Amino acid sequence: FSNALKCDKTNPKIYLLFGKWELETKNEIEKSIFLLKKAIEFNIVDPQAYEIVSKRYIEEGEIEKALNLCLKVDTDWSHFRAGLIYQRLEQHDLAVPQFQADLRFNSNRIESWDSLGYSYLILGRIMAAKQVTEELRKLGKPDIALENKIS
């Protein structure tokens, strides 16, 4: 891979494959993230790379960069993460559709239902929040605190 990079330093696929190889075969996390970031800088679209790099951006406090990556893909992790970021930014109107999209992938994800309920509550959508609490009860994971806030 390193020889391929020397020959073509602008080929995002080399950075992507090298980054994944470093992670999967050598468990070289830092080197892998560096290479995946380079691939992304060259506009490669790869959900696995986006997931790994968006986690790192969040750790580094680069919330907007993480959000931008999440919004570029339609996966089981990206909508949930985007919803949480929007909540952190207090943009609950944008968090709601992300949690709804996540629930298409993971209809039993308690965290998505719970987060959706709190966003509804903050937006003043009490009936929608109540429906979420009912769904959580059906799933066997009631959120008593959310239910008390609605009552």
Output the six-digit token pair for 96: 């709601």
- pLDDT tens, position by position, 84-110: 999 999 999 999 999 999 999 999 999
Reduce the DSSP state of residue 123 to 3 states and report it. coil
Q: At what angle do helices 92-105 and 78-88 cross, to 10 degrees?
A: 160
- pLDDT tens, position by position, 33-49: 999 999 999 999 999 99
At residue 10, the pLDDT reads 78
Phi-psi region of 90 (alpha: psi -120 to 50; beta: other; left: phi over 0): left
- DSSP code per residue over 66-91: HHHHHHT--STTHHHHHHHHHHHTT-
Backbone angles phi, psi at 108, to 5 degrees: -105, 10
Closest alpha carbon to 70 in 14, 114, 87:
87
- pLDDT tens, position by position, 49-86: 999 999 999 999 999 999 999 999 999 899 999 999 99
At residue 76, the pLDDT reads 87
Integer Cα distance of 82 and 99 in angstroms: 8
